[in-house]
Amino acid sequence: MTNHYGDDTQNSKHRKILIGILTFILIYTASIFIPIVGGYTAYPVAVIKCGNLPVITNDFMASYTYSEPGMTTYSGPNWLSTHKNYVCSAKDAEAEGYRKAFF
């Protein structure tokens, strides 16, 4: 026999889980636009979008270079990632006006 209070407890538990998931999604989405943590959140999104490690473009001090996975200049996100963007291929980076980094 189902207890009325048991149903409310189960619904309350599901509601709390749903609120937690929605809160996480909201905070994660908002953090993409915050410069200090934006690189940390944009990188995993780029990995999912590209299906592999993305090419990192950098326009710091007007260098307009890109780095591919495996290059010594390739580094994932850090707190100074405000000048970094992510594209899926070197061809995409070159189409946006970037040149390959020297290292």
User: Which pLDDT does position 13 carry in this prediction?
Assistant: 87
| pLDDT per position as a tens digit, 1-40 | 455 555 667 788 889 999 999 988 888 777 767 756 556 6
Sign of CA dihedral 70, 73, 77, 81: negative
Phi and psi at residue 102, to the nearest 5°: -70, -30
Q: In the block, which residue shows the tokens 């007007």?
A: 62
Question: Which pTM does this prediction carry?
Answer: 0.60
| pLDDT per position as a tens digit, 32-84 | 677 565 566 778 888 989 999 999 888 877 788 999 998 988 877 665 555 67
42 vs 56: CA distance, rounded Å: 11
pLDDT over 90 at 92, yes or no: yes
38 vs 9: CA distance, rounded Å: 38
Do residues 55 and 96 make contact, with C-beta atoms less than 8 angstroms apart? no
20 vs 67: CA distance, rounded Å: 37
